[in-house]
Amino acid sequence: MADILHRIGATASPEDVYAALTTVDGLANWWTRETDGDPDPGGVLRFRFAQGGFDMKVLDAQPAERVLWEVVDGPEEWIGTHVRFDLKREGDFTIVLFRHEGWREPVEFMYHCSTKWATFLMSLKRLVETGTGEPAPHDVQISNWH
């Protein structure tokens, strides 16, 4: 098993970061414009990109503290993995500890997704700090895999 880990800090409240993780509008403004579904625990969120997408079941959502998803549809390597956001306050910053856990093998696609998650988390930071993120299809291109 292998995990992707990231840490960012945004000068915004934990409540604002939590809203960006638990509303369709928030998610659409930093990850992908094509977001819909039910962001409440037990619901399923659908994220679509030019090359495909992911369906996430919301396993847990603790206001201003934690969001946990399980991947229920998408690329084979992602199915059954978990995506976790833990929030905490440090001074003027809300810290996001991100973990995409349960990859069976460190395949090349995992290397790609790790870098891509970093750029999307920087998009989340920008959204909550400035009001404007860089969601797909206007996301940062990192390679030939987009």
Q: Using CB under 8 A as the criterion, which residues of the chain lie in contact with a second copy when the complex forms?
A: 2-10, 90-93, 95, 97-99, 106, 108, 110-112, 114-115, 118-119, 121-122, 125, 140, 142-145
Indicate the residue among 3 and 73 with the shorter CB distance to a second copy: 3
CB of residue 71 to a second copy, shortest distance in Å: 18
Which of helix, strand or coil describes residue 77?
A: coil
SS3 35: strand
Please state, in angstroms and rounded to a whole number, the distance separating the CA atoms of residues 126 and 51. Answer: 24
In the complex, what is the shortest distance from the CB of residue 135 to a second copy, in angstroms, rounded to a whole number? Answer: 18
C-beta of 49 vs 93, nearer to a second copy: 93
Could you write out the DSSP letters of every residue in 41-67?
TT-EEEEEETTEEEEEEEEEEETTTEE
Query: To the nearest whole angstrom, how small is the minimum distance from the Cβ of residue 43 to a second copy?
Result: 27
Distance, in Å, from the CA atom of 95 to the CA atom of 108, rounded to the nearest integer, reads 28
CA pair distance 98, 118, nearest whole angstrom:
10
Shortest distance (Å) from residue 142 CB to a second copy: 5
Distance in angstroms (rounded) separating the CA atoms of residues 118 and 47: 17
Nearer to a second copy, 36 or 65 (CB): 65
Residue whose CB is less far from a second copy, 48 or 99: 99
